[in-house]
Amino acid sequence: MKIELTINGAKKQIDADPEMPLLWVIRDLLGLVGTKYGCGEALCGGCTVHLDGNAVRSCVTPVRRAENRAITTIEGLSPTGEHPLQKAWVELGVPQCGYCQAGQLMCAASLLAAKPQPTDAVARPTSREIER
């Protein structure tokens, strides 16, 4: 089935099963491999992307839910890698092995967009804030 997507500001048309996880569309059909597969069960967050600015676990999000919505992956967070979070990640040496950092950055960006001054008491998004 033909599906129209807007990803990182660009219109794309794909041919896929509407139930295909968004993660596989992003990685396998569109070649954006910054978004990672970890658990496949919405637990680890490595696959996190934004739908209309909200963090979602793309491993459990059918691509049909992304139609007519703005999808943002780590490649689209900042075209130049100059997002304040990306700069802070480098400055503070956060990456470690780096495998899940795209998901961490996308979760943090969504949190800060919703709560620019988070405290430890609200640092973890509620289940309502993490759209599944």
Note the residues at the interface with ligand FES (CB under 6 A).
37-40, 42-47, 57, 59
Between 34 and 38, whose beta carbon lies closer to ligand FES?
Answer: 38
Q: Which residue, among 53, 51, 47, 54, has the nearest Cα to 21 in the 3D structure?
A: 47
Q: How far is the CB of 48 from ligand FES (least distance, A)?
A: 7
Beta bridge partners of 131: 56
Between 56 and 77, whose beta carbon lies closer to ligand FES?
Answer: 56
Q: How far is the CB of 77 from ligand FES (least distance, A)?
A: 17
- Residue 110: half-sphere exposure toward Cβ, Cα within 13 Å: 28
Between 24 and 118, whose beta carbon lies closer to ligand FES?
Answer: 24
CA distance 100 to 115: 22
Residue with tokens 């509620």, as numbered in its chain: 126
Q: How far is the CB of 33 from ligand FES (least distance, A)?
A: 14
Token pair for 128: 């309502």
